[in-house]
Structures are given as C-alpha cells and as structure tokens.
Amino acid sequence: MSRRRIEGSFVALITPFNEDGSIDFGAFRTLLDFQQRHGTRAILFMGSTGEASMLSPEEKKALIVETAKMKTGAMDFFYGCTGNNTESTIANLRFARDNGADGAILAAPSYICASESDAEAFFLEVADATDLPLGIYNNPPRVKTDLHWDNLLRIFRHPNYVVHKESTTRVGQVAQVIAGRPDVSIMCCDSPNLGLVLPTMSLGGHGTANMTGNLAPAELATISKPWQGYAEAVDFRETYLRLLPLWHYVYSYINPVALKSLMNACGLPAGSLRRPLRNLEGEPLAKGVEIVRRLGLDEQYGYRIRDLHCNRACADAEGQIGCTSTRRKRISPPEDCSAIGPRAYFESRMSTVVWPLKTTTRRGPSAVISKVFQRPAAFGKGSETLAKSTIAAVPKVGSLRVSQMFTS
C-alpha cells in the first residue's frame, strides 16, 4: 500500500436524520458539498460526532455504501470502523474497503477498558487483516483505554497506519510522538478544553481532526494548515483567537449536542439528535446563535437562522399579533392598511415573531414588544396609531429582548 499524508482540516461529520429518524442521504450530499467548497481535506463518517454508537449495523453499512458514491476526489472519505471486538472490527474494515472507503479511523473497543498492551495488539492485528489506510484515535474519555507514546510509535511502524488523532490533555504526549517522527499525519482534537491545537500545530503537526468544521469549515481549514513559515502562524493566531467563543460553546455539551442543535438553528440540514440525546432549545441554543452572529458566520456562510421561539410564541401570544414565521407564507399587502385594517396589514408584513416574555411580577402575565414604532410610516396609513396602542399595551417587565419582526 502506498502511504499518503493527509494535511489540513479533517472534519468529523454529523449524521443527518430525516423526521422519521432515518438517515438523510440527500442532506449528506449537501453537507459534503459545503465542506468541499470551504477547504476541508478529509471527512470522517461515523465518529462520535456522527452518533455512530447509536446507528444500527444495517445503517452503518448503508451509510458507507451511499456516501462513498458521493466522492469527488477532492476529499478523502474515512469511516469509523471500530467494533466491540477484534473480529467485528476486521469485518467492518473489509466491508468499508470493498465499498469504496478511502480509509478508516479506529479507537480501542469501548467499555472493556483494555490494557495498553492489549490495545496495541488489537491495532496491529486488525492492520494485518486489511490494506485499507488506517488512523488511530486515542480518546480515553470515550473508550477508557489510553495509549502511551511508546505504544503509538510502535504501532505506527505498521505500513497501514497513516493518521493519528490525539484527544488527551497531554501536550508532552503530542511532543513525544512528533519527536519520534513516525510516517503518519499527526493531528489532534480541536476541543479548547484539551488545549492541544496550538502545541500540535506549532510543533509540526499536520492538521486537526475536528468537529467545529461542521459550522466553520473555512476557519478550521486555516487553523489546520501546517506551519511552513510566519504567514501560517499569523493566520493561525488570528483565526484561533477569533473562534474561541464558538469552540467553547460547541464543546459545552457532550458531542454532538450543541453542534447539531446549532447547525439546525443555522439552517443546515442536520436533523434531530438520536434519542436519548435531545436538541437544545431556548436560552442554551440562543447563546450559540448569538456567537454565530457576533462572529459574522451567518453572513459569511449565508446561514438563515430560524426563529428559536416561534412555536412557543405562537402559543403564548394569543390575542397579540399572530406568528406566521412557521407557515412561511408571503401575503402581498395592499398599498396601505386602510383597506384591510391595521392589525391584518401588520400580520401580512410579518416575517418573524418577537420573543414573548412571561413574567411572574404583578405587572402583567406576558408581553410582546415590536420594533414597528421605529418606522411606522413604512407600513401604510393607520400603522402609527396601531404602533402607539401596541406600545401602550405592553407592560413594563424589565429588560426585554427585541427582534426584528418586519420584512425590509
């Protein structure tokens, strides 16, 4: 087998689901095109980000077969093929090899807590059973087996191993592996809690094996570019510091809860998490959306951020101006509101609902505030009167968030 070195952003892709819980292969095609257009070098399917542990064996096989048909040659397609024992792992590797995979990423089988020597023997045995390019994912928080750099360097003498992803907090481990100069691409997890990205890249690492590239692929491509000189270091520093708020957010919940929830909010075809995991809603999700907007990622990637509170608003705002954002209707309004009445006219111009805020104070049960009074003339005759009456009817409940509710 000819060895090849992968350099750059290696994105662990989410698994998109349809509403009925089945895998959404049309969404996969969309997400892969998005990654390719923004500089991603390789894709990992069926990692922890892809909810692999909750996919059935049949789903895993279908995922390999169908996504392998989507290859364009611009990105390498690797698949998580770790089974619950040596034999099942070998079977997974052979299936992937026969159905178009470019490579596979392996972790130690989870839950059994294998010793370092047993794990080393596992990696060597499965490598002997295939000619598929392989990578090791040293991820003790997930699998409860941790490989020392001595074990790793011995394993990397096997010609089938081409990638290493480190997910410990040990900078010294990364340094020792790089110092050993194995003929593999040395990468790390992009979690800011582990703190490996800066030391890995500055010591000569070849990229990051990341999940944040699902949302910010161009930024991760910049961060994951090997340093050849001062220019790469400067680009890395600026992008790394800028992206810190997003990194901390997507890793603030177990992977991929925050990531997939935020992708859905941004209009990417991610689908729901598989139970028992649940999508974030309300204030926890709003924090992530605010970060996306503050970083300008919504404009950069053309994200169409959904109204996070539309469903609740429709229920809570009874008697107020109705919500039409979930219906996505576009009504052509008359030249002024006198023909149909100001309230109906406002409803016809509404694009998103404002956040109704419940209060336990004595000042009122709920409140809905709008920005209509800022430019009432734009909505025809009679709108100024309605705006004033709307403002007067809103109880004072302290600091309220306000969102745009009219089309421009």
For the stretch 255-313, pLDDT in tens is 999 999 999 999 999 999 999 999 999 999 999 999 999 999 999 999 999 877 654 43
Residue 344 predicted with pLDDT over 80? no
Q: How far apart are CA 318 and CA 229, in angstroms?
A: 61
> Does residue 80 contact residue 46 with C-beta atoms inside 8 Å?
yes
Which one of 60, 79, 165, 303 is the catalytic residue?
165
Single-letter residue type at 265 = A
DSSP 8-state symbol, 335: S
Burial 20-30 (b: 16+ CB within 10 A, else e): eeebbbebbbe
Predicted local confidence at residue 396, as pLDDT: 36
- Marked catalytic residue, from 79, 137, 240, 251: 137
pLDDT at 309: 61
The pLDDT score that the predictor gives to residue 170 is 92
Q: What is the model's pTM?
A: 0.76
- Lowest average pLDDT, out of 55-69, 206-220, 302-316, goes to 302-316
pLDDT tens per residue, range 143-168 = 888 899 999 999 999 999 999 999 99
Query: Does position 25 have pLDDT exceeding 80, yes or no?
Result: yes
Output 327 or 341, whichever has higher pLDDT: 341
Looking at beta carbons, which pairs linking 57-62 to residues 24 or more positions away fall under 8 Å? 59/23, 60/92, 61/95, 61/99, 62/23
pLDDT tens digits along 46-59: 999 999 999 999 99
Is 69 an annotated catalytic residue?
no
| Catalytic annotation present for 253 | no
